[in-house]
Structure 1
Amino acid sequence: MMRGFFRDRAAVFFAIVFPLMFLVLFGSLFSEDSSPRVEMVQVGAVPLFDDLSDEARAAFDETFEVSHSDDLDAAIDEVRTGDANVAVVQEGDTIVAHYTLADPAGAAITRGAMQAFVDGANLAATGQPPTYSMETDPVEDESIDAIQYYMPSLLGWAIAMSAAFGAAATLQGWRKSKLLRRLQLAPVSSTTVVGARVSVTVSIALVQMAIFIGTGALLFDLTLTGDWWMAIPLVVVGTLCFMAVGLLAAAITKSQEGAVNAANFIVLPMAMLSGTFFPLEGAPQWLQSFAQILPLKHLNEGMLDVMVRGEPWTAALGPMLYLAAFATVVTLVAARLFRWETA
């Protein structure tokens, strides 16, 4: 079975190469440590910004990338077309900021940053020293980059895709070719055959994990924190869970192509709703609640806890229990719906 997998170029591509391409893509996009600055077009003289103190000026330069213009309409056109985040003009003691609503998140950041400098200028104008100050302290290790949050989630998606597609295609292919019937007459027990199929799928998942971690460490300075080794049994249980999903896809379809498409129909939306490609913090509450029943969400969160967030090994036990329970229920449903013949 292992030789058959590696001889199937399409299976190798979609199980290892395809998800690895996403890791490299996300790693390249988020390889920069610095946050992007707000692009501001300053129209004419803006005394509030021009007269900042040295300390405030340094913070301002870290926050904004400023270009200058004497034409307000042209500056607003730059904002409208996405070439700038905000166009600023000062009218008397009022700062007027023109921004676009096409990027709500960017607009909120721009408004907040500008309001902070306006408030600071108002405080300085009173001549009173500030009463409060603020210090920032990240809760994670400073060596952690953004890509390290994406790596476990992309790995979870790769495992889900490989396990579900492999199980769906294999079961449907065996049923269509009558191999399942022949195996009953073979001098090999059904337990041995099933065990071999499971062992191959789990081995592929562990190879995926090793390749992802190796690629992340080699290309993007990946640093694992906490009891990261607990991700290994978590990956094994996650693989079994998504094999069950693949079995269900094969049980409800009548062809190998249909089984693969059904598995894709289940796994791809699950990846979108499980934080694989983007966080769900800004999603409606009902959608966030729905995501909690998805096994990929628990696999992703469990790996993030032990590989990135520095949580103890016990943090993976809850996700493992959920994945095991989900796999058991789905396997029983698949067994109930399965038919030996496709007709």
Structure 2
Amino acid sequence: MFNFRRFGAIFGARNKEFWRDRSSLSWNFAFPLLLIFGFSVVFSDNNQNQFKMGLLNQVDAPAALESLKYTAYVEYKDKTIALKKVGQHQIDLLLDWDNQEYWVNNSSPKGYILEKLLLHSSSQLKRNEVTGDAIEYIDWVIPGILGMNIMFSCLFGVGYVIVRYRKNGVLKRLQATPVKTFEFVAAQIVSRMLIVMTVSSIVFMGTWLTLDFRVEGSLWTLLLILMIGSICLVALGLLVASRSESEELVGGLLNFASWPMMLLSGVWFSLEGAPEFIKIISQMLPLTHFVDAARLVMTEGATLTDVSQQLFILMLMALAFFICSGLMFNWGKNR
């Protein structure tokens, strides 16, 4: 039979525990503020740009195009990459103002409208056509969604477990055994990596067969990206949970680590044309390199050599997280 007195006692004790935990209490106030601030910075541009124009070797739009409204401009230094994006409808038009020519895809509705607006501003430009298959949003966003799912699985799947072990005294009992810190940390990384790779591979194959999204590159290269990315994110989860005994605090810290990556790693939208400081922050996040590498393989057929830079950065980050988590790891208070 339900006893309201026992219920009230447990309810009151839990509330007191929460309010007396100054760190988690502070975080519950600080995190929403940080989240709102982050959204306000990322989405602070009131210009509702409808078109995206690539500029070849030019940062800002030419003075002759200043009257062209609702258009975002993105600089490209590599003409081959820029033309490929025009063919895939990732940008609506590519302009080389120095040579007075532009490239447009005839099958792009936005490219057609932007071309008319461009010629209205400057009619002396030479027209070039680009062909290619459009990358649908589902093709573009799938790598980001899979990467985000792996990120949450790695961070929260490891962080909460470690804190619970520490809080319940399991780690303290393990300390009495011959197991070394780095052995325990490495075992956690490998275990979670295998779980994430197995689950993610099943999800990937199931959705691929069902939705038939674009996969241009090698599945083996994708598997390697998945493995290295998972190791990096698991190591980050271990680093976050390396010392704390408060599940509430670790939950806040894991949210603090995951939300910026979800917003600034190109999961939902491209950061091309974003402010420079946003791009700099994005390059500091492991999920950015993970998603970029997977997206290049899936949408553009990139080879292992093409994504070697992203993989190298992920391996460096994983090594740094692993060493720091091993050095900072706390087995628990003395009892």
Task: Say yes or no: TM over 0.5.
Answer: yes
- The residue that corresponds to 1:179 in the other structure is 170
1:26 matched to which residue of 2?
none
How big is the shift at 1:111? 12
The one-letter code of the counterpart of 1:298 is H
Counterpart residue number, 1:135: 129
Which piece of structure 1 moves more, 244-253 or 214-223? 214-223
Cα distance, 1:209 vs. partner?
Answer: 2.6
| Deviation digits for residues 38-88 of structure 1 (CA, Å, limit 9, x no counterpart) | xxxxxxxxxxxxxxxxxxxxxxxxxxxxxxxxxxxxxxxxxxxxxxxxxxx
State yes or no: 1:198 paired with 2:192. no
Q: Structure 2 vs 1, CA of residues 228 and 308 (structure 1 numbering), >3 Å: closer, same or farther?
A: farther
1:151-186 C-alpha deviation (Å, 9 max, x unpaired)? 111111111111111111111111111111222456
Identify if the C-alpha distance between structure 1 residues 309 and 212 changes in structure 2 by more than 3 Å, giving closer, same or farther: farther
Residue 181 of structure 2 contacts residue 326 of structure 2 at CA under 8 Å; is this kept in 1?
no
- Cα 1:337–1:132 shift into 2, 3 Å: closer
Counterpart amino acid of 1:181? K
User: 1:143 touches 1:223 (CA, 8 Å); kept in 2?
Assistant: no
Q: Distance in 2 between matches of 1:118 and 1:333?
A: 53
CA distance 1:118–1:191, shift in 2 (3 Å): closer
State whether residues 248 and 334 of structure 1, in contact with CA within 8 Å, keep that contact through their aligned partners in structure 2.
yes
| Cα distance change of structure 1 residues 113 and 166 upon mapping to structure 2, 3 Å threshold | same
Are 1:266 and 2:260 an aligned pair? no
Moved more, 223-232 or 208-217: 208-217
Residue equivalent to 1:294: 285
Write the distance in 2 (CA, Å) between the matches of 1:234 and 1:111: 34
8 A contact 2:119–2:125 mirrored in 1: no
1:327 is displaced (CA, Å) by 1.5
Q: Kindly provide the amino acid, as one letter, of the partner of residue 70 in structure 2.
A: A
Unaligned runs of 5+ residues in structure 2 are: 1-45, 52-68, 72-109
If the length of structure 1 is used for normalisation, what is the TM-score? 0.59
Mapping for residues 20-39 of structure 1, pairs under 5 Å: none
**Alpha-carbon deviations, 1:274-311, whole Å to 9, x = none?**
10111111310121122112111111111112222111
Task: Work out which of the residue numbers 267, 270, 280 in structure 2 matches 1:276.
Answer: 267
Return the letter of the residue paired with 1:240. Answer: I
Structure 2 counterpart of 1:335, from 321, 326, 332: 326
Question: 2:155 maps to which residue?
Answer: 164
Alpha carbon RMSD of aligned pairs, Å?
A: 3.3
Q: Cα deviation per residue 1:130-150 (whole Å; 9 max; x = unaligned)? A: 995432213xxx374321111
Aligned to 1:231: 222
Determine which structure has more spread, i.e. the larger CA radius of gyration. Answer: 1
Counting aligned pairs with the same residue, the percent is 26
Match of 2:59 in 1: none
Kept in 2: contact 1:213–1:222 (CA 8 A): no
1:105 aligns with 2:50: yes
Tell me the equivalent position of 1:152: 143
* Unpaired stretches in structure 1, ≥5 consecutive residues: 1-100, 124-129
1:315 to 306, 309, 312: 306
Query: 1:241 Cα deviation (Å)?
Result: 0.9
* Contact residue 151 and residue 233 of structure 2 kept, 8 A: yes
What is the alpha-carbon distance in structure 1 between the residues aligned to residue 111 and residue 183 of structure 2? 64
- Contact 1:224–1:307 (CA under 8 A) maintained in structure 2: yes
Query: How many Å separate the matches in 2 of 1:182 and 1:272?
Result: 40
Cα pair distance change 1:252/1:112, threshold 3 Å? farther
Q: How many residues align structurally? A: 233
Deviation at 1:196, TM superposition (A): 5.0
- Counterpart AA for 2:50: A
- Structure-2 separation of matches of 1:258 and 1:308: 39
Query: Partners in 2 of 1:314 and 1:338 — Cα distance?
Result: 36
Matched, 1:219 2:164: no
Which of these residues, 268, 285, 297, is aligned with residue 306 of structure 1?
297
Contact 2:141–2:267 under 8 Å retained in 1: yes
> What is aligned with 2:317?
326
| 2-structure distance, mates of 1:262, 1:146 | 31
> CA, structure 1 residues 114+233, in 2 after alignment: closer, same or farther (shift >3 Å)?
closer
Give the SS at the match of 2:265: coil
